[in-house]
Amino acid sequence: MGDKIRVVVAGAYGKMGREVVKAVLHDKALELVGAVDVKGRGTDLGTLVGEAPIGQEISGELEILLKQNCPHVLIDFTNPQAVLRNIHTALDNQTCSVVGTTGLTAEELQEIDHKAKEKALGVFVAPNFALGAVLMMKFARETARYFPHVEIIELHHDQKVDAPSGTSLRTVDLISEKRPVFRQGAINEYEKVAGVRGGEINGIRLHSVRLPGLIAHQEVIFGGLGQILTLRHDSINRECFMPGVLLAVHKVRQLRGLVVGLEELLDD
């Protein structure tokens, strides 16, 4: 077996970050060489995930960590305000990135793609790393060929700051590949409460729910003559995202430029 893949985790103190740290520690092909977060600095990474101390602590300086430890891959689960800067810092230090943070704009993604290609490095971004969610999106794309009338309801915990979710936006993109743009609903439809019909992209309505107790959930509801078809995915805990994250970590060094969506790796 070749050398281990050296990994740094950004956003390690958060709920997703802790799961990532634990998953990396338990993957024999990976070596955790550092972690950063604005919170929890000095916390041992083993203690962070409820295990024995490993002698590595959360740092506050990503660039210093990258220069000192020369990782192959940065895994980023931070926030929309930090992720773009982190990706550029990684590319400047010859490090690939696997990104689960949502909120990057189309212009920012284009900028990342251009720079990654210049550096001959891979950057992988996924709105959802759960394999079931990826399959739901693939099924939704195919279903839209036969059921063009569709609405999406996405439900997340109340600490999620962006709406709609990256998963729902990606679902719209995939459905739009098979569905013509048209206005759904009654021609004379009106809202008695502003926004009650949700947001709209390409004639598809999106609805966002934010409540404590939820993690990550989505329904794609298709309507046809005399029938309804619903595709639903529920993330019961954050462990469900880890197989997808690890798959991306193992494959990102084979990429050049930006790749979006876990389905792109499953098709290989």
Q: Which positions are annotated as active-site residues?
A: 156, 160
Whether residue 197 contacts residue 189, with contact meaning beta carbons closer than 8 Å, is answered with yes
Q: Find out whether 209 and 154 touch, Cβ atoms under 8 Å.
A: yes
Contact 151, 198 (CB under 8 A): yes
Sheet (strand 149-156) strand order: 199-201, 204-210, 149-156, 216-224, 227-235
**How far, in Å, CA of 116 to CA of 90, rounded?**
10
Cα separation of 68 and 41, whole Å? 17
CA distances 69 to 31, 83, 134, 251, Å, are: 11, 20, 33, 20
111, burial (CB in 10 Å: exposed 0-12, middle 13-18, buried 19+)? middle
Q: Is 91 within 8 Å of 67 (Cβ atoms)?
A: no
Helix ranges, 28-182 (H): 45-48, 62-69, 83-92, 106-119, 131-143, 166-176
What is the residue type of 218? Q
- Cβ atoms of 220 and 171 closer than 8 Å: yes
Strands 122-125 and 257-260: parallel
